[in-house]
Chains A and B, each alone.
Chain A
Amino acid sequence: MDDFGNDALLTLLSERHPTATLTVPGPRPTGHQDRTLEVDAPHLREVCVTLRDEPRLSYDYLMSLTAVDRPPDSIEVVAHVFSYSHRSMLAIRTNLPRNAPKVPSLSPVWPAAGWHEREQFDLVGVLFEGHPDLRRIMMPDDWEGHPLRKDYVKPDRYHGIDNTRPKNG
């Protein structure tokens, strides 16, 4: 929404959540970046509740939720939300330590997050705390590792089944 710019957004959220670390990164010098809000992990859920419930924001629709592995130190969780009433889109980004990627689940805020979080837990290994049913959703339940980690090594066999492609044939 044009009349509710980045500064106004930051001011409003900082007043409501004085202990949270919030930033709106400026445009990237290199390539494109969507409008983004950065939140520290412990405050993520309460900030998101404000984003959803404050009438001037009303981000009621969670479009997507992704985790991006950034070795060696961090994993980013990026949620894309949209407000139907204000026609405004926002990316919410949280940086997590790669050795203990824990973040409050957003499923209680937006039910749509439920399956996205299961997917990112499965593929990237982020733990969404307070998720009602955090199970793998793509890979088998007994799979080891998280395939979209950058240092993931694909196993050759799964329960005795060969995973490798035969050469020249």
Chain B
Amino acid sequence: MPYTDRVDYVAAMNCNVGYAMTVEKLLGLEVPERAEFLRVVVGELNRISSHLVAVGAMPMDLGAATPFMHALRERETINDLFEMLCGARLTYNYVRIGGVSFDLPPGFTEKTAAFLDHFESMMRSEFDPLISQNLIYRRRLAGVAPISAATAIAYGLSGPNLRASGLDWDLRQDEPYSIYPKLEFDVVVGTGEVGVLGDCFDRYAVRVGEMLQSVRIVRQCLERMPDGPVMAKVPRTIKPPTGEAFVRTEAPRGELGYFLVADGSDRAYRCKIRTGSFASMSILEALSPGWMIADLVAIIAAFDVVAPEIDR
């Protein structure tokens, strides 16, 4: 499990969850409901902190350093929350096969609720006027490297990069897993509001919208969190029976798919991880000809790739 933290160190919780779900599918294991709620809480908080890095680093890549500080300041609070929960600030190793490692510590719910309120108003009063409405920023992204939905699908783009091309597709709603069917949230898709559908600005705007949806999800989870155990009964050594499973989840950088081949031992015979960043980088060669070098910076930034997710 700690290895999966390193698949995408900016969204380690989501990588933990995907791997745990794959092994659980091989085992036919049910996870206690409270653990599912906790997985969604940490997954969505991690989505916010991951998207904060994305929307903060984008203006920085384009030459505006200040917004990154604003974004990382907010992300700090989420790191604090995760530290309260599991002791780690980056590579959490929080999820376990069969549940999660710790229940909520005292004060976590209140602190999270306070952060969500603060975050929502910060996005509206500070982040949007400063960055989303910034004329230079908008012009650097508007109309740059638009991708049609069909091209996005052909190259295997997924997650925010796919939705930016206008396709209403989110595994949390369209192939629901965990407790997502019980939760209310909207899927944010690109609209071409300042340029062309599927351009770099759409990829940015989708992420901003998704953070606010994640706020809604976390609020609902905290309100409805049931009591109960956070771990299923699992043996000390887990030996999935011979078989294979492919499980994909909606991670911040697109679909995170684990293909796991089990041979009856306690180790994976073969594990392939399919990530959003890998697909995003593979389209660059076809996408970039004709654009300026400065645009290429915007294109890569807007895909929100994370290097370890590319080479895994």
Contacts of B156 in A (CB 8 A): 61-63, 110, 112
Expressed in whole angstroms, the minimum distance between the Cβ of B145 and any Cβ of chain A is: 16
**Cβ proximity bits B211-250 to A, threshold 8 Å, 1 near / 0 not:** 0000000000000000000000000000011111110100
Among A62, A63, A80, residue most surrounded by chain B Cβ atoms (within 10 Å): A63
Expressed in whole angstroms, the minimum distance between the Cβ of B36 and any Cβ of chain A is: 20
At the interface, yes or no: A11 with Cβ under 8 Å from chain B? Answer: no
Closest residue of B by beta carbon distance from A60: B153
A32→B259 CA distance, assembly (Å): 12
At the interface, yes or no: A54 with Cβ under 8 Å from chain B? Answer: no
Expressed in whole angstroms, the minimum distance between the Cβ of B257 and any Cβ of chain A is: 5
Expressed in whole angstroms, the minimum distance between the Cβ of B23 and any Cβ of chain A is: 10
Our pick among B153, B244, B278, B282 for the contact of A32 (Cβ within 8 Å) is B244
Contacts of A62 in B (CB 8 A): 156
Contacts of A69 in B (CB 8 A): 270
The answer on a CB contact under 8 Å between B259 and A112 is no
Closest residue of B by beta carbon distance from A52: B154
Could you count the A-B residue pairs with CB atoms below 8 Å apart for me: how many are there?
Answer: 82
**Cβ proximity bits A21-39 to B, threshold 8 Å, 1 near / 0 not:** 0000000101111100000
The answer on a CB contact under 8 Å between B274 and A63 is yes
Our pick among A60, A68, A80 for the contact of B261 (Cβ within 8 Å) is A68
At the interface, yes or no: B137 with Cβ under 8 Å from chain A? Answer: no
A61→B155 CA distance, assembly (Å): 8
At the interface, yes or no: B180 with Cβ under 8 Å from chain A? Answer: no
A83→B286 CA distance, assembly (Å): 23
Our pick among A33, A111, A148 for the contact of B244 (Cβ within 8 Å) is A33
Our pick among B244, B257, B281, B282 for the contact of A63 (Cβ within 8 Å) is B257
Q: Determine the main DSSP class of B at the interface with A.
A: mixed
The answer on a CB contact under 8 Å between B259 and A31 is no
The answer on a CB contact under 8 Å between B264 and A30 is yes
The answer on a CB contact under 8 Å between A138 and B311 is yes
The answer on a CB contact under 8 Å between A34 and B244 is yes
The answer on a CB contact under 8 Å between A64 and B243 is no
A87→B173 CA distance, assembly (Å): 12
The answer on a CB contact under 8 Å between A68 and B257 is no
The answer on a CB contact under 8 Å between A30 and B270 is no
**Would you list which residues of chain B between 167 and 221 have a CB under 8 Å from chain A?**
167, 169, 174-175
Q: Given A63-B274, A115-B278 in contact, is the A32-B155 Cβ separation under 8 Å?
A: no
The answer on a CB contact under 8 Å between B259 and A66 is yes
A112→B162 CA distance, assembly (Å): 13
Q: Given A68-B269, A84-B169, A112-B279 in contact, is the A32-B175 Cβ separation under 8 Å?
A: no
At the interface, yes or no: B138 with Cβ under 8 Å from chain A? Answer: no
**Cβ proximity bits B257-277 to A, threshold 8 Å, 1 near / 0 not:** 101011010000110101000
Expressed in whole angstroms, the minimum distance between the Cβ of A115 and any Cβ of chain B is: 4
The answer on a CB contact under 8 Å between A111 and B155 is yes
Residues of A within 8 A of B (CB): 28, 30-34, 60-64, 66, 68-69, 78, 80, 84, 87, 89, 91, 110-112, 114-116, 138, 148
7 A-B pairs (CB sep. < 8 Å): A32-B243, A61-B153, A80-B257, A80-B259, A89-B246, A111-B154, A114-B282
